[in-house]
Structure 1
Amino acid sequence: MTKPVLFCSLSLLCALAATAAEPVQQVTVTGRIIGSPLQVGGFGDVPLAQSPFAASLITASQLADAGARGISDLTRLDAAISDAYNAEGYWQSLTVRGFVIDNRFNYRRDGLPINAEAVIPLGNKQGVELLKGTTGIQAGTSAPGGLVNLVVKRPTRNLRTAGIEWREHGSVGGAVDISQRFGTDEAFGLRVNASAEHLDPQVRSAKGERHLLALAGDWRVSPDTLIEAEVENSRQSQPSVPGFSLLGSTLPDARSIDPRINLNNQSWSLPVVFKANTGSLRLQQRLNDDWRITAQAMAQRLVNDDRVAFPFGCSAADVYDRYCSDGSFDLYDFRSENEHRDSDAVDLALHGALRTGGVSHQLSAGVLFTRFQSRFQRQAYNWAGVGTIDGNTQVPAAPELTDENTNRDERSTELYLRDAIELSPQWSVWAGLRHTRLARESVRTDGSRATSYDQQFTTPWLAVAHRITPKTLVYASWGQGIESAVVPNRSYYTNAGEALPALKSRQVELGLKHDGENIDASAALFDIDRPQVAEESCSTEAPCTGHIDGSARHRGAEAMLSWHSGPWQVHGTGMWLDAKRRGAQDASVNGLRPTNVAARTLRLQVEHDLGALPGLHLLGSVVHEGDRMVLPDNSLRIPAWTRLDLLARYEHTLGGTQLTWRVGVDNATNQRAWKEAPYQYGHAYLFPMAPRTLRVALQAAI
């Protein structure tokens, strides 16, 4: 394994890339976060506390305290977010409000759409925004649940941070974050983020490495004109870690399974490699005191080598959604190399304010052009032999490229209009409309199974807000979201390759927000109804017709409370969720819960500033998840679990250098549990909670 080059030249002590935050923004769990604006909401610089939608803003400092290394670690900080097939070494997925958000359509980077079928680095991100619920006015197509927006770090004055982090078993990483303004009147700015890490997690046979290099610059051409550009290069190489599964009809006891076992432990196992280059250019031009225009373009280029010894099913018992009762399973040699995913986006917008009579308007109007193209090679997906859950059985490789892959092309044009209307100091109306035209094509790599279709649709959103007091807001909103689907082009579908009607989700939300001096709080009731595509077992002998079959209805309540007084800070979020299938032709399906979705979730962080030693902060974090269904028929479930994480953070100055030490213990009680139970690829998987893990980091800022 090649050692990261940065280790040889790194002379400053720093934290993991995600911890490279500006020292002036050392916010952890204070109530001020709710007062910050939310870029992805689309209504400009209106603070989150005054916006009629549910959202959260997670800062780089919060990510650092949580030891976050990827987007799956957001699950530690917001009860509305949970895991959705998050395997070590692979790209990460999230469930929001009980819906798995789409890695192709539900992620944004500084407001522009990106493909998240990649490892997303956090080292050059200032924060992560999460907009919850249907997002029809923010995205042309997206799964209900929410949008994730990554906010890129931009140049600032005289910033110098660097450091190092170690975590059990033997992962070591370093990063630098340097920013400077220069030129006449400091018209030019440049920021550099660089990091490298040797990966050696507690799970066995999963060593790897990753690096990041990101540059961001700007030019203040005049007081009215700002040009910004940035580029990011990242690479990760690491074997992935497949999940366990049911053993016949038995749910194995998580306490009897060693969470360090890697079932992808063959002599021929190769790492999954994720390479990404992303860049953007943005122009902001003020026309007068009330109006401005923005033009932003982004390009993303992903190249993946997806390779794994993949456990799937039990042919010995003729069942393919679980492992055999004796702990064996069929093992497949899967290889899909040189996968290219290219995304481009251009957004042109006009923002301004005007008054009509006694009513004021904050308007935004624009157009977003997007293009996506994926190009794959033939792939291997070959039976290689029989493996066992102890991870020790070796089978021969079967790398022949015997299977076709699927290439895709997508184009869309989205016109949008948003208006925040202030009727009086107490009442406001918020409205949005988005019209989308899209064209999608797919074809197998051998030219077979070609499909293509065009669709257009309009998605509205409306909210009414009332300010009870200057610090307290209540609101009601209604909106739609759109997904687009096509029937698989297989011979056993009577309507193979046909586009289904646009899947239109609907959400109603009632909310309350309070932005106080010592207490911030919010609560939301939501009801989301999403059309469901029929999930049937079709074959040549028993053909079927692809169609919409009822819906998934998710109703729930979210609450957030942040309180700080003297040396104490407390931040908690909770969600209650009633997620059920309804309206299906098969009445036995109605009323069932979706797999891998907890009905109760809780996140609680408590911080205490130890007065006896100024600068020392003790933090405790509790994550609780209710039980989750393992199988679609709800016949098996994994139990609820609770995890305790501990952290000590010490900040002090030495010789003009600000030092921040972090010593954390994740899963402090060494809890053994099934963390999640995703039902994916028609198979039930079980992922164990990581064992107790120690991490130590030091950040230096000049």
Structure 2
Amino acid sequence: MKNKKPNALALAAALNCVLLSAAQAQSEADRNAAVTTLPVVTINASADASAQGLSPSYAGGQVARGGRAGILGSKDNLDTPFSITAYTNELIQDRLAKSVGEVLQNDASVRVARGFGNFQEAYFVRGFILSSDDIAYNGLYSLLPRQYIATELFERVEVLRGASAFLMGASPNGGGIGGNINLLPKRAPNEALTRLTVGGGDGGQGNVAMDVARRFGSDKATGLRVNAAYRDGGTAIADEKNKLGLFAVGMDWRSRDVRLSGDIGYQDNKLERSRTSVTLGFGLTALPALPEADSNFAQPWTYSNERDVFGTLRGEWDVAQDLTAWAAWGMRRNDEANSLANLTVTNAANGDGNTSRFDNTRQEQIGTGEIGLRGKLRTGSIGHEWVASAAYFKAKNHAAYIWDYFNTQATNLYAPTYSPLPAFTAGAFKGNNLADPGLTAVTELSSFALGDTLSLLDGSLLVTLGARYQKLSVDEYAYDTQALTPYDMDRTSPVFGAVYKFSRQLSAYANYIEGLSRGSTIAAAGGQPERMLPPYVSKQKELGLKYDAGRIGFGAAAFSTDKPRALAIGQAAPQGEDEHRGLELNVYGEASRGLKLLGGITWLDTTQRDTGSAATEGKRTLGVPKTQANLGVEWEVAAISGLALDGRLSYTGGVYADSANTIAVPDWTRFDIGARYLFELKGTLLTARARIDNVANKKYWASSGGYPDQGYLVIGAPRTVNLSLSADF
């Protein structure tokens, strides 16, 4: 277990030496011979099924100039009354990011956690949890794998901060209160692309990926892009293994008035002996000390398998000069199987605890779509950009489980006891049939939205007004008996946004927008009939400034969001709300030629209000720090052509692992470094990358609270080395 990191570090050091030697040799050759500078390779993605296309990259290439504001379409940052950051594929590649969570490590308003169940990614956005189930793909919810999404499946990661019920509709699983994440598909660029990437890292991990794209026809109207990837091996955590295979095809066609695109993809992700979250046992009031960063207390027989197939179609038609119609549809089919044994610590002083076997299977069928009209017109001196849209989402969930809760196996956080696979006892809790999981829920969301952005004062003032009528219908079916508990409610969610442009470089904005999630259903009791509570409505108010200095941009936002608390145990109605007040500062672009910056800082003041309990009243929200900050710097070394070095500092303040704020989790700081060298070999452009995350091998609790009041502590990854070599043919 202890010799894996030195080997990986030695490999990284060796690669860095090779890169530096090659770079120095190239630099010497440049001085002594007339060598032509390597051409800059620019790949401009085509327009997909959208006249707007991808928002152009900002100076430095790490983020875009704007992003998608839901049904309002892609907007330049200075023209939208919302805070949006779109991280580019260039950043994804250069930071060797493998998942959505690894991309979002660059965002100061987001922190990555782990959702309920097995090893699902979850994200705290402005302090509110967003599960990976609620991620959108090209504007449609829940089409990509719900637990882990490999970066080979998407072109960009867009973060829309703040509530978004009007912009995107209510998310299927109740997220989207603090923000939404939208992934953009890969499309064939204007230039032919054939890229082979091989890589490796700690634990014997190896990977290979192929990215091929072509445009066809005399006018290059038809595009085809194929991505395939395979990963296999261990990780920086002892005895942990991961195997992933994926294949995806993206197609598009465009004419003068019509644009079409489609995707079909497959991902098969298998985890073995992945390190689990740490749950704190009942009555525990102290936090256990951290084990070694690379330690693994997972049982050897545990696994988590997820297989997904998805597809989308999108079309756009310019009906007239100022009128465009669009339609989109997507589907996903999912199969999951897990055998888990999460660790519950019962003694914080010595790390004693136990596990119990929990097996489950799950199948999910998703169908979702939208249609809409978008147009422009003028009434006197006022310009209008209006939009009308209808959307529909349906999910059918099948699940089964066996949980042998009382049949525990003793273990220890620091000196684990590895047990053989325990047989289920007669007292195990069961629901449905693992081999053929039964229907547990049918979720249907439908909505209609109207919006208008008014242009006033010769375009200096933009005012957005709109509303979305949303119907939420959820039929839940009890395990085994299939007893039905329905939920059928509706709500209209308004929006107000305003942007005032002081100049072409500076704008101020304000917005009021709501978030929406399903309310609780109260079972019949005490002579009272079953009751459905109205949807929970969160309310956000935000003020901000945006400044574009040409090659470097800045953003500032002050916001407040009030979110009703869900139904508490033993209560007959929701009790109180969570108030989040915050301030965000962001920077991106180039401070000078060859010196890129990407980072920010977020301050959060969170409070539980009117909870009905003295233990929680006025306390901070579970798992949310007061301060979180990132600063990424990349330096293109002018003296050595093709060489770039980067570093990223991440800080997360202390949090609480319980709503009563009795268990404090300390703050942490992490430093990551990387190197990239671009060179040519016999006419082939090569890019070598090396990365070391958590350079100091710091031990830290990365997150707490992926599931309320269960601890759900996640240990941060140890020092992790990754290497890759890409060839563009």
Using the size of structure 1 for normalisation, the TM-score is: 0.89
Aligned residue for 2:367?
344
**Offset from partner CA, 1:453-489 (integer Å, 9 cap, x none):** 2111100110111111111100111111111132365
1: CA distance between counterparts of 2:245 and 2:446? 35
Instruction: Give me the whole-angstrom Cα distance separating, in 1, the residues matched to 2:312 and 2:386.
Output: 25
- The corresponding residue for 2:376 is 353
* Corresponding residue number in structure 1 for 2:306: 274
Letter of the structure 2 residue corresponding to residue 294 of structure 1: W
Q: Residue 571 of structure 2 corresponds to which residue in structure 1?
A: 545
Provide the rounded CA distance (Å) in 2 between the counterparts of 1:150 and 1:486: 30
- Equivalent residue of 2:341, what SS? strand
- Is residue 162–residue 178 contact of structure 2 (8 Å, CA) maintained in 1? yes
2: distance between equivalents of 1:88 and 1:123?
25
Question: How many Å apart are 1:114 and its aligned residue?
Answer: 0.9
Deviates more, 1:95-104 or 1:226-235: 95-104
- The Cα of 1:608 is off from its aligned counterpart by 1.2
Indicate conservation of the 8 Å contact 1:86/1:92, yes or no: yes
The CA distance in 2 between the partners of 1:681 and 1:569, in whole Å, is 38
Look up the match of 1:57: 86
Change (3 A) 1:418 1:98: same
| Aligned-partner residue type, residue 548 of structure 1 | P
Cα distance in 1 for residues equivalent to 2:679 and 2:477: 59
Could you say which residue in structure 2 is the equivalent of 1:36?
A: 65
1:109-258 matched pairs, under 5 angstroms: 109-114=137-142, 117-142=146-171, 143=175, 144-156=177-189, 157-220=191-254, 222-239=255-272, 240-245=274-279, 248-254=284-290, 257-258=291-292
Query: Which deviates further from its counterpart, 684-693 or 356-365?
Result: 684-693
Q: Tell me what 1:593 maps to.
A: 620
- Counterpart code for 1:388: N
| Counterpart pick for 1:462 among 477, 490, 496 | 496
The corresponding residue for 1:311 is: 343
Aligned-partner SS, 2:219: helix
- Whether the 8 Å CA contact 2:688–2:725 is kept in 1: the answer is yes
Give 1:214 deviation, angstroms. Answer: 0.1
Q: 1:487 and 1:455, CA in 2 relative to 1: closer, same or farther beyond 3 A?
A: closer
- What residue is the counterpart of 2:443 in the other structure? 410
- Supply the distance in 2 between the matched residues of 1:158 and 1:218 (Cα, whole angstroms): 15
Q: Aligned to 2:102, what secondary structure does the other structure show?
A: helix
Whether 1:79 and 2:108 are equivalent positions in the alignment is yes
Q: Secondary structure at the match of 1:79?
A: coil
Cα 1:199/1:458, change in 2 over 3 Å = farther
Deviates more, 1:641-650 or 1:32-41: 32-41
Deviations 1:9-46 (A, max 9, x none): xxxxxxxxxxxxx8537999846666633124332232
Contact 1:334–1:399 (CA<8 Å) still a contact in 2?
Answer: no
Match of 1:560 in 2: 586
Deviations 1:248-268 (A, max 9, x none): 5432332xx1222322224xx
- Counterpart of 2:416 in structure 1 is 391
How do 1:22-33 residues align onto structure 2 when only pairs under 5 Å count? 24=43, 30=59
Query: How many angstroms apart in 1 are the aligned matches of 2:128 and 2:527?
Result: 29
The answer as to 2:556 corresponding to 1:533 is no
CA separation in 1, counterparts of 2:222 and 2:618?
59
Deviations 1:140-159 (A, max 9, x none): 32431111101010122411
Return the alpha-carbon distance in structure 2 between the equivalents of residues 63 and 89 of structure 1.
Answer: 25
CA deviation vs aligned residue, 1:524-566 (integer Å, no higher than 9, x gap): 0000001112433xxxxxxx33311110000010011134212
Gaps of at least 5 residues in structure 1 are: 1-21, 315-322, 537-543
Is 2:659 aligned against 1:625?
no
1:370 and 2:399 aligned: no
Q: Shift of residue 184 of structure 1? A: 4.3
Cα shift at 1:399:
3.8
Q: Distance in 2 between matches of 1:78 and 1:624?
A: 11
Q: CA–CA distance in 2 between the matches of 1:55 and 1:299?
A: 26
User: Judging changes above 3 Å, is the alpha-carbon distance between structure 1 residues 645 and 663 closer, same or farther for their aligned structure 2 residues?
Assistant: same
Is 1:70 the counterpart of 2:84? The answer is no
Q: 1:75 to 1:34 in 2, by over 3 A?
A: closer
CA RMSD, 1 decimal: 2.5
- Alignment CA distance shift 1:198-1:488 (3 Å): farther
Aligned to 2:479: 445
Q: Secondary structure at the match of 1:683?
A: coil
Cα distance between partner residues in 1 of 2:669 and 2:59: 24
Residue type of the alignment partner of 2:497: A
Whether 1:695 and 2:727 are equivalent positions in the alignment is no
Instruction: State the alpha-carbon separation in 1 of the partners of residues 118 and 639 from structure 2.
Output: 42
Q: Is the 8 A contact 2:288 2:348 kept in 1?
A: no
Cα distance in structure 1, aligned partners of 2:517 and 2:538: 8
Instruction: Kindly provide the CA deviation profile for residues 649-690 of structure 1, in whole angstroms up to 9, marking residues without a partner as x.
Output: 111222332211111111112222222223636422332222
Q: Tell me the distance in 2 between the aligned counterparts of 1:29 and 1:607.
A: 15
Q: State the 1:65 CA deviation.
A: 2.6
Q: Provide Cα deviations, 1:315-340, integer angstroms capped at 9, x if missing partner.
A: xxxxxxxx565422231111012x11
| 8 Å contact from structure 2 (residues 364, 395) kept in 1 | yes
Tell me the secondary structure at the aligned position of residue 49 of structure 1: helix
The alignment partner of 1:329 has SS state of strand
- Which sits farther off after the overlay, 427-436 or 178-187? 178-187
Answer yes or no: is the 8 Å Cα contact 2:61–2:88 preserved in 1.
no
Q: Number of residues paired by the alignment?
A: 659
Letter in 2 for 1:374: N
Shift of 1:403: 1.4
User: 1:395: Cα distance to partner?
Assistant: 5.3
CA distance in 1, matches of 2:571, 2:280: 31
Structure 1: which amino acid aligns with 2:105? R
Matched letter for residue 129 of structure 1: E
